[in-house]
Amino acid sequence: MSTLRVALNDYLALRRSLGYKLERTGQVLTDFVDYAESTGTEHIQTDIALSFALLASNPDSQWRAARLGMVRSFARYLHAIDPSHEVPPTGLIPRGRGRPAPYLYSQDEVTALMSASRRLRSPLQAATLEAVIGLLAVSGLRVGEVIRLNNDDVDFCDAILTVRFSKGGKSRVVPIQESTVEALQVYLIVRDQWFPEARSESFFVSRAGQSLRSSSLGAAFARVSSLAGLPTRTGHNGPRLGDFRHSFAVQTLLRWHMDEIEVAPRLPTLSTYLGHVNPTSTYWYFSASPELLAAAVQRLTRYMEVDER
């Protein structure tokens, strides 16, 4: 069995341990290894990966780009172990626009964004955006779920949030930490100073005391992002409020790996926490983090070393 084929078996075993079925991907990558072996290739090279992808018969479909994408993911895994493997660059085969690449926030960037929020001219808007950013960063909630929180949905005594009728029409209860409870209580004091008589049932309010609007919230976040020195968003690239959710999911999985916790049994719990109707939706959040991939590779390497002893 060739080195490349052994590596493919390890790669598929790792990904499947995270919950991926990879039935079609497994077949495509097996075909790719067959093709690479027929050319005498021991390390993935861009030209070999591209020529394999172009073997797909229909040039007008997205299947060629999909095949190359599967090989690229395999190449990223191998490159983390052995840099002599080339990772084919994106854009070699055009394809329709999919989900935009997420921006993964560091803890320092979250702190900088919250600090920059306090520089907004309106004290209420500053307090609102700081609280919203903080809650998104530590809870993994969708932006719309935060906007729709009502006063009755925030239970300070039991430290829980009730998310009602979210995606798929489902509701769920989300536990929060004591530090988050304290931060929300501070925001509540500021909010009630501006509006002693509530103009809305919403927990987070606009400068007019009404429910937040996603467009206005996004515009305020763009200003704060610039003040914090984050990259400028262009088109579908760059920091967005929704990326806090992706960052939360990736950091959770990364922490599990670093703590040597079995990941696969916990994924359904994370899926429920995030409010995913289908657990397969959760797996997408783990596809764009080099740190997460490196942690998984290191862990797999340690297991392999133990097995060899």
Alpha-carbon distance 109 to 234, whole Å?
Answer: 19
From the candidates 64, 142, 148, 191, which is the catalytic residue? 142
Annotation marks residue 142 as catalytic: yes
Separation of first and last alpha carbons in the chain: 21
3-state secondary structure of 163: strand
**Beta-carbon contacts of residue 208 (< 8 Å; ≥ 6 apart):** 199
3-state secondary structure of 159: coil
Beta pairing class for 172-175 and 154-155: unpaired
Strands annotated E in the chain = 154-155, 160-163, 172-175
Alpha-carbon distance 152 to 162, whole Å?
Answer: 8
Buried b vs exposed e over 267-297: b needs ≥16 C-beta within 10 Å? beebbebbbbeeeeebbebbeebeebbebbb
CB atoms within 10 A of CB 6: 11
Cβ contact 81:301 at 8 Å: yes
Alpha-carbon distance 163 to 172, whole Å?
Answer: 5
Cβ contact 148:256 at 8 Å: no
Annotation marks residue 170 as catalytic: no
From the candidates 167, 172, 223, 233, which is the catalytic residue? 167
Amino acid letter, residue 206: S
Amino acid letter, residue 258: M
Active site residues: 142, 167
